[in-house]
Structure 1
Amino acid sequence: MTTLSTADLYDERGAELQSLSVQLQSVGGKAQFEGEIRTVRCLEDNALVRQVLATPGAGKVLVVDGGLSLRSALLGDLIAASAIENGWEGVVIFGAVRDRVTLGTLPLGVKALGSNPRKSTKTGAGALDETLVVDSVTFRPGAHIYCDEDGVLVER
Structure 2
Amino acid sequence: MEFGSCGIRGKCRGLCAKSSEDSSPAFARRRGQQETLTLTLLPGITSCARARPRPRPRPRGRSGWWVIRCPPPPASSPPPLLPIFTNTIPTSDPDRANHHPQSDPSPDWPGQIAADPTPRNPLPRPRARTESNMAALPLATAEVCDANAHLIMNGELRALQPVFQVYGRRQVFAGPIVTLKVYEDNVLVREFLEEKGQGRVLVVDGGGSLRCAILGGNPVQQAQNNGWAGIVVNGCIRDVDEINGCDIGVRALNSHPMKANKKGIGEKHVPVTIAGTRICDGEWLYADTDGILISRTELTV
TM bracket (short chain):
over 0.9
> What secondary structure sits across from 2:148 in the alignment?
helix
Q: Does 1:12 align with 2:118?
A: no
Counterpart amino acid of 1:147?
A
Contact 1:23–1:151 (CA<8 Å) still a contact in 2? Answer: no
C-alpha separation in 1, matches of 2:161 and 2:259: 27
Pick from 231, 234, 255 the counterpart of residue 94 of structure 1: 234
Spell out structure 1 runs of 4+ moving beyond 2 A.
1-4
The amino acid of 1:43's aligned partner reads Y
State the shift of 1:45 in Å. Answer: 0.3
Give the whole-Å Cα distance in 2 for the aligned partners of 1:54 and 1:31.
22
Identity of aligned residues (%): 39
Aligned residues of 1:36 and 1:60 also touching (Cα < 8 A) = yes
Alignment of 1:109-124 (within 5 A): 109-124=249-264
Following TM superposition, by how much is the alpha carbon of 1:2 offset from its aligned partner in structure 2, in angstroms?
3.8
Tell me which amino acid in the other structure corresponds to 2:244: G
Q: Spell out the pairing of 1:53-64 with structure 2 (5 A cutoff).
A: 53-64=193-204
Distance 1:10 1:151 in 2: 11
- The partner residue of 2:285 within 130, 142, 145 is 145
Q: SS in structure 2 opposite 1:49?
A: helix
Contact map agreement 2:169 2:244 (CA 8 A) in 1: yes
Could you tell me how far 1:89 is from its partner in structure 2? 0.4
Q: CA deviation at 1:134?
A: 2.0
In structure 1, stretches of 5+ residues that fail to align are none
Q: Which has the higher contact order (CA 8 A, sep 6+)?
A: 1
CA displacement at 1:3 relative to structure 2: 4.9
Residue identity matched to 1:91: I
Output the aligned Cα RMSD.
1.2
TM-score when scaled to structure 1?
0.95
1:34 paired residue number: 174
Cα deviation digits, residues 94-122 of structure 1 (max 9, x gap): 00000111111110100000000111011
- Correspondence 1:85 to 2:225: yes
User: Which amino acid in the other structure matches residue 19 of structure 1?
Assistant: A
Is 1:127 the counterpart of 2:267? The answer is yes
Report if aligned partners of 1:19, 1:153 keep a CA contact under 8 Å in 2.
yes
Shift of 1:80: 0.4
Alpha-carbon distance in structure 1 between the residues aligned to 2:224 and 2:210: 24
Contact 1:27 1:111 in 2 (8 A): yes
Deviates more, 1:1-10 or 1:146-155: 1-10
Find 1:66's aligned residue among 181, 199, 206: 206
Code of the aligned partner of 1:138? R
